[in-house]
Structure 1
Protein backbone atom coordinates (compact mmCIF):
# COMPACT_ATOMS: atom_id res chain seq x y z
CA UNK A 1 0.00 0.00 0.00
CA UNK A 2 1.32 3.41 -0.97
CA UNK A 3 0.28 6.43 1.06
CA UNK A 4 0.79 10.08 0.14
CA UNK A 5 2.15 11.91 3.18
CA UNK A 6 1.98 15.39 1.68
CA UNK A 7 3.63 17.75 -0.76
CA UNK A 8 7.39 18.19 -0.66
CA UNK A 9 6.72 21.90 -0.08
CA UNK A 10 4.85 20.98 3.15
CA UNK A 11 8.20 19.93 4.68
CA UNK A 12 10.82 22.51 5.61
CA UNK A 13 14.34 21.24 6.24
CA UNK A 14 14.31 19.35 9.58
CA UNK A 15 10.53 18.86 9.62
CA UNK A 16 8.84 15.61 10.51
CA UNK A 17 5.32 14.34 10.05
CA UNK A 18 3.86 11.29 11.79
CA UNK A 19 1.25 9.37 9.82
CA UNK A 20 -0.75 6.14 10.19
CA UNK A 21 -0.26 3.46 7.53
CA UNK A 22 -2.10 0.14 7.97
CA UNK A 23 -2.41 0.76 11.70
CA UNK A 24 1.30 1.60 12.08
CA UNK A 25 2.59 4.96 13.20
CA UNK A 26 5.37 6.11 10.82
CA UNK A 27 7.58 9.18 11.11
CA UNK A 28 8.67 10.89 7.88
CA UNK A 29 11.63 13.29 8.11
CA UNK A 30 13.14 15.80 5.70
CA UNK A 31 16.86 16.42 6.08
CA UNK A 32 18.16 18.79 3.44
CA UNK A 33 16.81 17.35 0.16
CA UNK A 34 16.42 13.76 1.43
CA UNK A 35 13.44 12.06 3.02
CA UNK A 36 13.61 9.25 5.57
CA UNK A 37 10.85 7.19 7.17
CA UNK A 38 10.93 5.05 10.32
CA UNK A 39 8.31 3.20 12.27
CA UNK A 40 7.41 5.30 15.30
CA UNK A 41 8.33 2.49 17.68
CA UNK A 42 11.68 2.16 19.41
CA UNK A 43 12.77 -1.49 19.35
CA UNK A 44 14.28 -1.09 22.84
CA UNK A 45 11.02 -0.70 24.82
CA UNK A 46 8.55 0.43 22.13
CA UNK A 47 8.65 4.15 22.96
CA UNK A 48 7.54 6.83 20.44
CA UNK A 49 10.87 6.91 18.59
CA UNK A 50 9.93 9.54 16.01
CA UNK A 51 9.07 12.08 18.71
CA UNK A 52 12.74 12.15 19.73
CA UNK A 53 15.50 14.64 19.04
CA UNK A 54 17.16 14.67 15.61
CA UNK A 55 20.82 15.74 15.65
CA UNK A 56 23.84 15.61 13.33
CA UNK A 57 26.65 13.22 14.17
CA UNK A 58 29.61 14.77 15.91
CA UNK A 59 32.93 13.28 14.76
CA UNK A 60 36.27 13.62 16.49
CA UNK A 61 39.71 12.47 15.43
CA UNK A 62 41.09 13.33 18.85
CA UNK A 63 41.12 16.03 21.51
CA UNK A 64 40.24 19.45 20.12
CA UNK A 65 39.07 18.01 16.77
CA UNK A 66 35.28 18.08 16.59
CA UNK A 67 33.21 18.47 13.44
CA UNK A 68 29.72 17.61 12.24
CA UNK A 69 29.21 14.79 9.74
CA UNK A 70 27.26 15.62 6.58
CA UNK A 71 25.55 12.20 6.51
CA UNK A 72 22.14 11.22 7.86
CA UNK A 73 21.56 12.44 11.42
CA UNK A 74 20.80 10.38 14.49
CA UNK A 75 17.37 10.20 16.11
CA UNK A 76 17.37 9.81 19.92
CA UNK A 77 14.41 8.00 21.47
CA UNK A 78 12.74 10.29 24.02
CA UNK A 79 12.33 7.48 26.57
CA UNK A 80 15.86 6.16 27.13
CA UNK A 81 18.12 8.03 24.71
CA UNK A 82 19.01 5.19 22.33
CA UNK A 83 20.21 6.81 19.11
CA UNK A 84 19.28 5.49 15.66
CA UNK A 85 20.67 6.21 12.21
CA UNK A 86 17.58 7.45 10.36
CA UNK A 87 18.79 5.97 7.06
CA UNK A 88 19.46 2.40 8.28
CA UNK A 89 17.70 2.14 11.64
CA UNK A 90 20.92 0.92 13.33
CA UNK A 91 21.10 1.81 17.02
CA UNK A 92 24.03 3.34 18.84
CA UNK A 93 24.56 3.81 22.53
CA UNK A 94 22.52 6.76 23.78
CA UNK A 95 23.93 9.90 25.39
CA UNK A 96 23.51 8.68 28.99
CA UNK A 97 20.01 9.99 29.64
CA UNK A 98 17.80 8.32 32.19
CA UNK A 99 18.32 6.95 35.67
CA UNK A 100 21.78 5.44 35.50
CA UNK A 101 23.39 4.65 38.86
CA UNK A 102 26.71 6.35 39.59
CA UNK A 103 29.57 3.84 39.30
CA UNK A 104 33.25 4.28 40.07
CA UNK A 105 35.89 3.02 37.63
CA UNK A 106 39.67 2.89 37.77
CA UNK A 107 41.24 5.52 35.54
CA UNK A 108 44.71 5.65 34.01
CA UNK A 109 46.53 7.93 31.58
CA UNK A 110 48.19 6.23 28.58
CA UNK A 111 49.86 7.52 25.42
CA UNK A 112 47.51 7.44 22.44
CA UNK A 113 49.61 4.75 20.73
CA UNK A 114 48.73 2.31 23.53
CA UNK A 115 44.98 2.67 23.11
CA UNK A 116 43.38 -0.09 21.07
CA UNK A 117 39.72 -0.72 20.22
CA UNK A 118 37.91 -3.17 22.50
CA UNK A 119 38.22 -6.75 21.29
CA UNK A 120 35.22 -7.74 19.15
CA UNK A 121 33.88 -4.18 18.86
CA UNK A 122 33.48 -2.95 15.33
CA UNK A 123 33.80 0.81 15.60
CA UNK A 124 32.56 2.95 12.73
CA UNK A 125 34.56 5.74 11.17
CA UNK A 126 32.75 8.17 13.48
CA UNK A 127 33.89 6.15 16.51
CA UNK A 128 30.42 4.90 17.46
CA UNK A 129 29.89 1.24 18.25
CA UNK A 130 26.60 -0.21 16.93
CA UNK A 131 24.04 -1.21 19.54
CA UNK A 132 21.83 -4.30 19.59
CA UNK A 133 18.68 -2.69 18.19
CA UNK A 134 17.61 -1.85 14.64
CA UNK A 135 14.58 0.40 14.12
CA UNK A 136 12.28 -0.50 11.24
CA UNK A 137 12.84 1.74 8.23
CA UNK A 138 10.07 2.34 5.70
CA UNK A 139 10.56 3.01 1.97
CA UNK A 140 9.88 6.68 1.17
CA UNK A 141 10.06 8.43 -2.19
CA UNK A 142 9.19 11.70 -3.89
CA UNK A 143 6.85 11.37 -6.84
CA UNK A 144 5.66 14.41 -8.79
CA UNK A 145 6.30 16.72 -5.81
CA UNK A 146 4.55 14.39 -3.32
CA UNK A 147 6.15 12.44 -0.49
CA UNK A 148 5.01 8.79 -0.58
CA UNK A 149 5.62 5.96 1.94
CA UNK A 150 5.11 2.31 1.10
CA UNK A 151 3.93 -0.56 3.27
CA UNK A 152 3.88 -3.59 0.98
CA UNK A 153 2.06 -6.88 1.74
CA UNK A 154 5.46 -8.65 2.00
CA UNK A 155 6.56 -6.15 4.68
CA UNK A 156 3.31 -6.63 6.62
CA UNK A 157 3.64 -10.44 6.50
CA UNK A 158 7.25 -10.21 7.74
CA UNK A 159 6.15 -7.89 10.56
CA UNK A 160 3.46 -10.37 11.62
CA UNK A 161 6.05 -13.18 11.77
CA UNK A 162 8.47 -11.01 13.75
CA UNK A 163 5.75 -9.94 16.22
CA UNK A 164 4.67 -13.57 16.71
CA UNK A 165 8.27 -14.55 17.55
CA UNK A 166 8.70 -11.69 20.07
Structure 2
Protein backbone atom coordinates (compact mmCIF):
# COMPACT_ATOMS: atom_id res chain seq x y z
CA UNK A 1 0.00 0.00 0.00
CA UNK A 2 1.33 3.41 -1.01
CA UNK A 3 0.70 6.73 0.73
CA UNK A 4 -0.06 9.88 -1.30
CA UNK A 5 -0.16 13.53 -0.25
CA UNK A 6 -3.64 14.65 -1.38
CA UNK A 7 -4.51 17.99 0.23
CA UNK A 8 -3.84 20.45 3.00
CA UNK A 9 -5.81 20.26 6.27
CA UNK A 10 -8.35 23.09 6.18
CA UNK A 11 -8.63 22.95 2.40
CA UNK A 12 -11.82 20.86 2.51
CA UNK A 13 -14.76 22.47 4.29
CA UNK A 14 -17.14 20.47 6.50
CA UNK A 15 -19.67 18.65 4.33
CA UNK A 16 -17.82 19.29 1.09
CA UNK A 17 -15.63 17.30 -1.27
CA UNK A 18 -12.33 17.75 -3.06
CA UNK A 19 -11.73 15.57 -6.11
CA UNK A 20 -8.11 14.54 -6.67
CA UNK A 21 -6.37 12.34 -9.22
CA UNK A 22 -3.86 9.82 -7.88
CA UNK A 23 -2.21 7.14 -10.00
CA UNK A 24 -4.91 7.56 -12.65
CA UNK A 25 -7.73 7.22 -10.13
CA UNK A 26 -10.26 10.01 -9.54
CA UNK A 27 -11.02 10.10 -5.79
CA UNK A 28 -13.30 12.32 -3.71
CA UNK A 29 -12.15 13.34 -0.23
CA UNK A 30 -14.85 14.34 2.27
CA UNK A 31 -14.63 15.99 5.68
CA UNK A 32 -17.40 15.61 8.26
CA UNK A 33 -15.92 17.98 10.83
CA UNK A 34 -13.98 15.24 12.62
CA UNK A 35 -12.75 12.73 10.05
CA UNK A 36 -11.76 12.56 6.40
CA UNK A 37 -13.15 9.91 4.06
CA UNK A 38 -12.08 9.02 0.52
CA UNK A 39 -14.18 7.25 -2.11
CA UNK A 40 -13.61 6.42 -5.78
CA UNK A 41 -15.24 8.98 -8.07
CA UNK A 42 -16.97 6.39 -10.26
CA UNK A 43 -20.54 5.13 -9.86
CA UNK A 44 -20.76 1.36 -10.58
CA UNK A 45 -24.08 1.85 -12.38
CA UNK A 46 -23.07 3.92 -15.44
CA UNK A 47 -19.60 5.24 -14.47
CA UNK A 48 -20.81 8.78 -13.65
CA UNK A 49 -18.58 11.09 -11.62
CA UNK A 50 -20.09 10.02 -8.32
CA UNK A 51 -18.39 12.68 -6.20
CA UNK A 52 -20.12 15.48 -8.10
CA UNK A 53 -23.35 14.35 -6.43
CA UNK A 54 -24.72 15.75 -3.19
CA UNK A 55 -23.94 14.57 0.32
CA UNK A 56 -27.09 13.95 2.32
CA UNK A 57 -28.79 11.49 4.66
CA UNK A 58 -31.51 8.95 4.05
CA UNK A 59 -34.72 7.50 5.39
CA UNK A 60 -33.95 4.81 7.95
CA UNK A 61 -35.75 1.51 8.43
CA UNK A 62 -39.02 2.21 10.20
CA UNK A 63 -42.67 1.19 10.58
CA UNK A 64 -45.16 1.68 7.71
CA UNK A 65 -46.02 5.38 7.20
CA UNK A 66 -43.24 6.38 9.62
CA UNK A 67 -40.31 8.32 8.17
CA UNK A 68 -37.14 8.62 10.21
CA UNK A 69 -34.30 10.62 8.64
CA UNK A 70 -30.72 9.71 9.59
CA UNK A 71 -27.12 9.24 8.46
CA UNK A 72 -26.97 12.95 7.61
CA UNK A 73 -23.71 13.80 5.85
CA UNK A 74 -22.88 10.12 5.23
CA UNK A 75 -24.75 9.40 2.00
CA UNK A 76 -23.38 10.29 -1.44
CA UNK A 77 -26.05 10.51 -4.16
CA UNK A 78 -24.96 9.91 -7.75
CA UNK A 79 -25.80 12.98 -9.87
CA UNK A 80 -27.00 10.90 -12.85
CA UNK A 81 -29.53 8.39 -11.52
CA UNK A 82 -29.68 8.97 -7.78
CA UNK A 83 -27.93 5.81 -6.62
CA UNK A 84 -26.92 6.21 -2.96
CA UNK A 85 -23.67 5.12 -1.34
CA UNK A 86 -22.33 5.33 2.20
CA UNK A 87 -19.15 7.46 1.99
CA UNK A 88 -17.61 5.60 4.94
CA UNK A 89 -18.04 2.06 3.59
CA UNK A 90 -18.70 2.55 -0.14
CA UNK A 91 -21.74 0.28 0.12
CA UNK A 92 -24.87 0.90 -1.92
CA UNK A 93 -27.98 1.48 0.17
CA UNK A 94 -30.10 -0.61 -2.21
CA UNK A 95 -27.93 -3.73 -2.48
CA UNK A 96 -24.72 -3.44 -0.40
CA UNK A 97 -23.58 -6.96 -1.27
CA UNK A 98 -23.82 -6.37 -5.01
CA UNK A 99 -22.91 -2.68 -5.51
CA UNK A 100 -19.98 -1.08 -3.77
CA UNK A 101 -17.59 1.76 -4.50
CA UNK A 102 -13.94 1.52 -3.45
CA UNK A 103 -13.08 3.53 -0.32
CA UNK A 104 -9.57 4.43 0.79
CA UNK A 105 -7.92 4.85 4.18
CA UNK A 106 -7.12 8.49 5.02
CA UNK A 107 -4.66 9.83 7.59
CA UNK A 108 -3.48 13.28 8.62
CA UNK A 109 0.26 13.84 8.92
CA UNK A 110 2.02 17.17 9.41
CA UNK A 111 -1.14 19.09 8.46
CA UNK A 112 -1.48 17.13 5.21
CA UNK A 113 -4.27 14.75 4.19
CA UNK A 114 -2.74 11.47 3.08
CA UNK A 115 -4.50 8.78 1.00
CA UNK A 116 -3.43 5.16 1.37
CA UNK A 117 -3.87 3.28 -1.91
User: TM-score when scaled to structure 1?
Assistant: 0.61
Structure 1 residues 27 and 65: alpha-carbon distance in aligned structure 2, compared to 1, 3 A threshold = closer
Partner of 1:33: 34
The answer to whether structure 1 residue 146 and structure 2 residue 112 are counterparts is yes
Superposed, which structure 2 residues align to 1:1-166 within 5 Å? Answer: 1-59=2-60, 61-62=62-63, 63-64=65-66, 66-69=68-71, 73-93=74-94, 130=96, 132-151=98-117
- Give unmatched runs, 5+ long, in structure 1: 94-128, 152-166
Structure 1, residues 81-102: CA drift from partner, whole Å, max 9, x if none? 1101111111123xxxxxxxxx
Q: Distance in 1 between matches of 2:57 and 2:67?
A: 16
Q: Which has the higher strand share?
A: 2
Instruction: Report how many aligned residue pairs link the two structures.
Output: 115
What stretches of structure 1 move > 4 A for 4+ residues in a row?
A: none
- Give unmatched runs, 5+ long, in structure 2: none
Q: Distance in 1 between matches of 2:105 and 2:86?
A: 15
Q: Which has the higher helix share?
A: 1
Q: Answer with 1 or 2: which has the greater Rg.
A: 1
For the aligned residue pairs, the C-alpha RMSD in angstroms reads 2.0
Counterpart contact for 2:57–2:69, Cα < 8 Å: no
Structure 1 residues 65 and 39: alpha-carbon distance in aligned structure 2, compared to 1, 3 A threshold = closer
Q: Distance in 1 between matches of 2:67 and 2:99?
A: 29
The worse-fitting range, judged by mean Cα deviation, of 56-65 and 16-25 is: 56-65
